[in-house]
Amino acid sequence: MGSGEGVRRFIGKNVADKDKVDFGASDSAISDVELAQADNNALMVPVTSACLVLAYNLPGFHGELRLSRKAYPRIFLGEIKKWNDPLIAQTNPGVKLPDPVITIAARQDASGTTFAFTNNLSAINDRWRSLFGASTLVDWPGNATRAKGNEGVSALIQRSEASIGYVGYEFANRLGLDMAAIENKEGKFVQPSEQSCVAGLASADLPDNLRAFVPDPSGASSYPIVTYSWVLLRKQYQNPQTAQALRDLFQWSIQDGQRYSSQIGYVPIPSSVGEKALKALETINSGVSTAENK
Q: Residue 198: inside a domain, yes or no? A: no
Q: Which residues in 155-188 are b (16+ Cβ under 10 Å) and which e?
A: bbbeebebbbbbbbbbbbbeeebbbbbbbbbeeb
Do both 86 and 149 map to the same domain? yes
The band of 17, judged by pLDDT with boundaries at 50, 70 and 90, is low
In a domain, 289, yes or no: yes
Answer yes or no: is 247 within a domain.
Answer: yes
What is the predicted pLDDT for the residue at 257?
Answer: 94
**61-81 per-position pLDDT tens digit:** 888 999 999 999 999 999 999
Residue 199 within a domain: no
- For residue 25, the model assigns a pLDDT of 83
Higher pLDDT, 42 or 140: 140
Do 209 and 288 lie in one domain? The reply is yes
Instruction: Look at residue 289 in the predicted model and tell me its pLDDT.
Output: 42
pLDDT of residue 18 exceeding 90, the answer is no
**What is the side-by-side order of every strand in the sheet holding 189-190?**
66-67, 181-183, 189-190
Q: Are residues 25 and 145 in the same domain?
A: no
* pLDDT score recorded for residue 151: 94
137-175 confidence digits (pLDDT tens): 999 988 899 999 999 999 999 999 999 999 999 999 999
Predicted pLDDT of residue 37 = 77
Kindly tell me the number of DSSP H helices and DSSP E strands found in the chain: 12, 12
Residues 30 and 104 in one domain: no
Same domain, 80 and 144: yes
**Domain presence at residue 241:** yes
- Per-residue CA distances from 248 to 88, 258, 268, 292 (Å): 48, 14, 19, 24
117 three-state secondary structure: helix
Q: What is the pLDDT of residues 91-111, one digit of tens each?
A: 999 999 999 999 999 999 988
Q: What is the CATH number of the domain that holds 8?
A: 3.40.190.10
- Structural domain contains residue 243: yes
**Residues 191-214: tens digit of each pLDDT:** 999 999 999 988 878 888 888 889
> pLDDT at position 287, please?
56
Say whether both 138 and 242 belong to one domain.
no
Domains of the chain: total: 2
Query: Are residue 212 and residue 107 in the same domain, yes or no?
Result: no
Domain that holds residue 74: 51-193
Residue 290 banded pLDDT, cuts 50, 70, 90: very low
Residue with the bigger pLDDT between 63 and 289: it is 63
- Average pLDDT over the chain, rounded to whole? 89
For residue 94, which phi and psi values (nearest 5 degrees)?
Answer: 75, 5
Stated pTM of the model: 0.85
Q: Is the pLDDT of residue 2 over 80?
A: no
Cβ atoms of 106 and 138 within 8 Å: the answer is yes
The predicted structure's pLDDT at residue 27: 78
